[in-house]
Amino acid sequence: MNGPEWLFPLPLEEGRARATALFAETFATEPRGVWSAQGRVNLIGEHTDYNGGTCLPLALPHRTFVALRPRPDALVRAVSAQRPGEVWRTSLGEVTPGRVDGWGAYVAGVAWALARKGLRMTGFDVAVVSAVPTGAGLASSAALECAVALGLDESLDLGLASDDAGRARLAAACVRAENEIVGAPTGGMDQAVSLRSRPGHALLLDTRDGSVRHVPLELADRDAALLVIDTRATHALVDGQYGLRRATCEAAARVLGVGTLREAELETALATLAAHGDLEIDLGADGTTTVSADVARRRVRHVVTEVARVDAVVGALAEGDLARVGALLDEGHRSLRDDYEVSCRELDLACETATGAGALGARMTGGGFGGSAVALVPADRVEDVARAVTEAFAAAGLTAPAFLRAG
């Protein structure tokens, strides 16, 4: 059996060169420039971002590069190294919610959202080269959106990327693009970390007011590392399950009389929902469904306890208590698996095997239903943990996972 498969980031110059070459080959001209944005892994705080809670993601070294050139008309043309020979096209005038299909919706949606902010916008050509794994729950879509946003900002002299407040506005436009044009009801964590994080730090994001605090990781100084496990179990956030979780939380908040579940007190919330009974959930264009009181209570329990775990991890990092961080990761995975029900066979196996092979703790990361896990591992055990997970997947007859180093 082969050893673990490692996914490495593209060096900056190589990524820029590849994107430039693809642009020139496709559009027979040179781009105005090349911009890039990072994928992310979330250390703790899952499914809290659309509930007004806190989360603690960090940027990966893996980036998406876009070579971009504005056009004098409203045409948008996009090509990706992952889809050689295919040029995606639309006109900005045709970009409206529910009418844009294909991967280019992430690209054109950003221009649409920036225009809705009253900013000057034109058509553009763009070539995409990415080292962020797709379908892995590592924010590949946000990395694409944010790289395009940076390219449009600089090439059109919008002036937003020069400070954190402006980058927050760019991030908000990217979130709107994903929500309204792509149709994925995600929160704002991915775009925030891609545009607002610092090297060597996790980003403590308060989604209630958009404020951030940079939390030092200092893992290398403590002989530890974060190992990301791409289970190769493809996940998708537009298949209805993610939206159902979000709609359930919003309905529960209305029953509890709070703006978001961030404001809920756990025991009071559980008692109120038990007395209320089943919840009717509005799924928008997909109609309505009913969620039992027991399911609603478990969803709420995950969100409220997960917000508390974010605070606890921040405190444990400050104290250098990595064993406590690991225990909180394990606790978070159990909550996501049992209460929020967004794990899967591959994620459970990855986490169980990692901890059994010496990781201090592990949990699924991202929206779930597939994707990736993150493990906190002693630095001298990283290869051993990766090998153990690879062997466990092989023994279970599963597609071989891949591994990334982060933090």
Give DSSP secondary structure letters for 50-64. GGT-EEEEEEEEEEE
Q: Is 65 left (phi over 0), alpha (psi -120 to 50) or beta?
A: beta
Task: In whole angstroms, give the CA distance from residue 360 to residue 354.
Answer: 9
Largest CA distance in the chain: 66
Of 49, 125, 153, 190, the catalytic one is 190
Task: In whole angstroms, give the CA distance from residue 277 to residue 251.
Answer: 12
Question: Which tokens hold the place of 370?
Answer: 């597939």
Give DSSP secondary structure letters for 299-328. HHHHHHHHHHHHHHHHHHHHHT-HHHHHHH
Task: In whole angstroms, give the CA distance from residue 191 to residue 177.
Answer: 11
Residue with tokens 């050139």: 69
What residues contact residue 310 under an 8 Å CB cut-off, 6+ apart?
Answer: 44, 45, 48, 53, 54, 55, 56, 204
Q: Is 384 a catalytic residue?
A: no
Phi, psi (degrees; rounded to nearest 5) at 77: -125, 135
Alpha-carbon dihedral angle through residues 322, 233, 387, 364, given to the nearest 10 degrees: 10
- 58 DSSP β-pair partners: 41
Rounded to whole angstroms, what are the CA distances from 282 to 249, 256, 293, 394? Answer: 11, 17, 15, 42
What residues contact residue 85 under an 8 Å CB cut-off, 6+ apart?
Answer: none
Residue 220: count of CB within 10 angstroms of its CB = 11
User: What residues act catalytically?
Assistant: 190
